[in-house]
Amino acid sequence: MEKIDKNKVITVGYKYHPQSGCTFILGFIPAHSESQGRRKKPVYVKDSYLIAWVPAGARSITAYREFDSYHSAYIYFMRMRNGDPPPELPYIRDYQQSRVYDWQWQAVKNYHSRLSLKAANEMIESICADYDLRAPVLDFRKDKYEGYCFYETERHEIGGHKRLLNRGNLIHECAHFIDTHGDQNIFQTHGPSFVKNFITLAATYIPGNTEKKLMKSAREAGLLGLPEEIHYVKPPRNPMSSGRAR
């Protein structure tokens, strides 16, 4: 399957997937002529529509399905619109990780407020009771070699070096397991759905923060992605068709 330049595709409809940052698009490729070399005549390519998953920031579309008519493409789009990007394809990448880190350290008040292990366990129990989830194990020790916090999915464990145990880091890792609960952690990234979960938790469990202010800040930082509903535009007229423009 050939790659298609994303700029050559006119998006007719899309459904945004906040967990991964991908969009499921219904696209239109206008009729055009393609060069076949110096001694060959250009080949005329008629109108076509395609359905494809497109990762955030992608310059080309590598996996798609083509259709001859808008009607056929629309039916397929509507049938598949609530699915997830194929996990075996290279769509799922942490495209805004560094921006999330920069934003949370600046926007969240009392992010670095230290916690004792006892206080951290109490916070975890409270959060998991609110979400009706099994609490993860906490493993913060002085002999931990990691210079960062982490959420380990297989062991259902939040850990890191003891000096990293603070409110912000704990809330960050809690947002990961809440965001990915029930999805086998396929989309464990710092995408818009993670940011929204993080904001809700930070506003509830880190003093000095409100959901309204954090949402506004995250939106201004471009971390909340596209609207999640389906969007459509009118299919464009074929620029190579005969007849007068109106």
Domain end: 65, 91, 117, which one? 91
- In a shared domain, residues 132 and 147: yes
Place of tokens 């982490």: 150
Q: What is the mean pLDDT of residues 49-61?
A: 88
| pLDDT in the model for residue 105 | 95
Residue 235 has pLDDT above 60, yes or no: yes
Does a structural domain hold residue 238? no
Identify whether 200 is part of a domain: yes
Q: What mean pLDDT do residues 93-112 have? A: 94
Same domain, 84 and 17: yes
Question: Quick check: is 22 in a domain?
Answer: yes
According to the model, what pLDDT value does residue 93 have?
Answer: 74
Is residue 41 located within the same domain as residue 119?
A: no
Residues 32 and 42 sit within 8 Å (Cβ to Cβ): no
CATH classification of the domain holding 175: 3.30.2010
pTM: 0.80
Residue 2 has pLDDT above 60, yes or no: yes
Of the segments 40-49, 155-164, 210-219, which one has the largest average pLDDT value?
A: 210-219
- Say if 233 falls within a structural domain: no
Q: Which of 91, 119, 140 corresponds to the end of one domain?
A: 91
| Whether 213 and 101 share a structural domain | yes
Residue finishing a domain among 91, 113, 143: 91
Beta-carbon contacts of 84 under 8 Å, excluding residues fewer than 6 positions away, are: 17, 19, 20, 183, 186, 187
Per-residue pLDDT reduced to its tens digit, 108-142: 999 999 999 999 999 999 999 999 999 999 999 88
Rounded CA separation 9/6 (Å): 5
Q: What is the pLDDT of residue 246?
A: 35
82: Cβ–Cβ under 8 A, 6 or more apart, which residues? 15
One domain for residues 82 and 101: no
Structural domain range at position 85: 4-91
Query: What integer pLDDT is reported at residue 74 of this predicted model?
Result: 93
The answer to whether 201 and 111 have CB atoms below 8 angstroms apart is no
Digit-coded pLDDT (tens) for 13-48: 999 988 888 899 999 988 767 666 666 777 766 888
